[in-house]
């Protein structure tokens, strides 16, 4: 045994027993989750991420040697969850629960201290979109508007940013909430973590792919904003379906670039 890494082989019902104990401890999270995905307050997309994580665990997971340190981290997170239960909001408690479960699943079935791909999918399975839209929607739209105004001005159309609007020739063109890119963010990260799981990326490659995906998603949303400005200002004539078409095209472009990035990242990173 390597003295630097303490390993433990747990077989039989032990892993399932520990997971069941965590499941019972996190019961309030599952009840909250069920309420959020059925009350119409959030998008139900998280079910897709959860199903993907389950399929990956069934197909690729297998019991093996467990790092005791990882189980210790999971236990510490469960303890933190219990101690902070009265003061933390439900979403934060759910994130703690998901990280703890990810540590346990990684230790028992994926042979890693923490499998970042499965962690990403399980975090995306939470009802996050409404909260992200509330907390990040405006800042992202504000930043996108500022950058878009400067880039459009470089093309010869003098545009100024006013909050989340673009002013051109006295008219204000709003970058509204659906154009904040939150849904594109969720979809892009879902694709990234799914590819990271099923292509067997290690921790470094997964982290690099996540970081690059964030940049790709932001740039894709910025491009969509710029193209939509030309349509909404009637500099370019759009058909009746033009707005929706640009959005779909931006989604597809982001997905293709992320997929190509994953192919490349496997070649150039250790």
**8 Å CB contact between 139 and 175:** no
Give tens-digit pLDDT for 116-171.
999 999 999 999 888 888 889 899 999 999 999 999 999 888 999 999 999 988 88
CA–CA gap between residue 42 and residue 129 (Å, rounded): 6
Sign of the alpha-carbon dihedral angle for 204, 68, 107, 128 = negative
Over range 53-71, report the average pLDDT. 78
Per-residue confidence at 67, pLDDT binned at 50, 70, 90? low
Per-residue confidence at 1, pLDDT binned at 50, 70, 90? very low
Q: Residue 55: its pLDDT value, please?
A: 95
Q: Residue 180: its pLDDT value, please?
A: 83
CA–CA gap between residue 217 and residue 189 (Å, rounded): 9
- Counting Cα atoms < 13 Å in the Cβ hemisphere of 60 gives 21
Give tens-digit pLDDT for 218-243.
999 999 999 999 988 888 888 888 88
**Residue 4 pLDDT more than 80?**
no
**Residue 14 pLDDT more than 80?**
no
Contacts 24+ apart (CB under 8 A), 22-28: 22/74, 22/78, 22/97, 22/100, 22/101, 22/104, 25/78, 25/81, 25/82, 26/81, 26/97, 26/100, 26/101, 28/85, 28/90, 28/93
Q: Kindly report which listed range (42-46, 170-174, 216-220, 261-265) carries the lowest average pLDDT score.
A: 42-46
CA-wise closest residue to 47 among 110, 248, 198, 55: 55
**8 Å CB contact between 177 and 129:** no
**Residue 48 pLDDT more than 90?**
yes
Tokens of 245: 């078409």
Over range 188-195, report the average pLDDT. 97
Q: Residue 187: its pLDDT value, please?
A: 95
**Residue 102 pLDDT more than 50?**
yes
Per-residue confidence at 101, pLDDT binned at 50, 70, 90? very high
pLDDT > 90 fraction of the chain, expressed in percent and rounded: 50
pLDDT > 70 fraction of the chain, expressed in percent and rounded: 90
Q: Region of 237 please: left (phi>0), alpha (psi -120 to 50) or beta.
A: beta
**Residue 5 pLDDT more than 50?**
no
Per-residue confidence at 68, pLDDT binned at 50, 70, 90? low
Name the one residue in this structure whose structure tokens are 């990403």.
120
On average, the pLDDT of the chain sits at: 87
**Residue 2 pLDDT more than 90?**
no
Domain boundaries, the chain: 7-127, 130-268
Q: Residue 175: its pLDDT value, please?
A: 87
């Amino acid at each position: 045994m390597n003295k630097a890494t303490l390993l433990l082989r747990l077989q039989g019902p032990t892993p399932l027993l520990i997971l069941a104990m965590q499941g019972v401890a996190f019961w309030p999270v599952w009840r909250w989750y069920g309420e959020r995905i059925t009350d119409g307050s959030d998008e139900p997309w998280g079910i897709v991420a959860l199903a993907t994580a389950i399929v990956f665990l069934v197909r690729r997971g297998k019991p093996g040697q467990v790092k005791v340190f990882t189980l210790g981290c999971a236990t510490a997170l469960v303890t933190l969850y219990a101690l902070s239960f009265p003061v933390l909001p439900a979403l934060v408690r759910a994130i703690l629960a998901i990280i703890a479960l990810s540590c346990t699943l990684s230790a028992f079935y994926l042979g890693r201290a923490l499998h970042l791909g499965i962690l990403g999918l399980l975090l995306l399975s939470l009802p996050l979109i409404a909260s992200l839209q509330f907390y990040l929607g405006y800042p992202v739209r504000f930043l996108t508007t500022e950058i878009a105004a400067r880039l459009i001005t470089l093309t010869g159309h003098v545009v100024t940013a006013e909050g989340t609007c673009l002013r051109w020739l006295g008219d204000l063109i709003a970058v509204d909430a659906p154009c904040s890119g939150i849904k594109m963010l969720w979809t892009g990260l879902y694709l990234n973590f799914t590819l990271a799981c099923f292509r067997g990326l290690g921790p470094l490659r997964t982290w690099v792919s996540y970081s690059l995906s964030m940049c790709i998603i932001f740039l894709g949303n910025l491009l969509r904003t710029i193209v939509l400005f030309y349509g909404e200002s009637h500099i370019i004539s759009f058909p009746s379906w033009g707005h929706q078409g640009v959005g779909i095209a931006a989604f597809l472009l982001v997905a293709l670039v992320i997929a190509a990035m994953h192919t490349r990242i496997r070649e150039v990173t250790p």
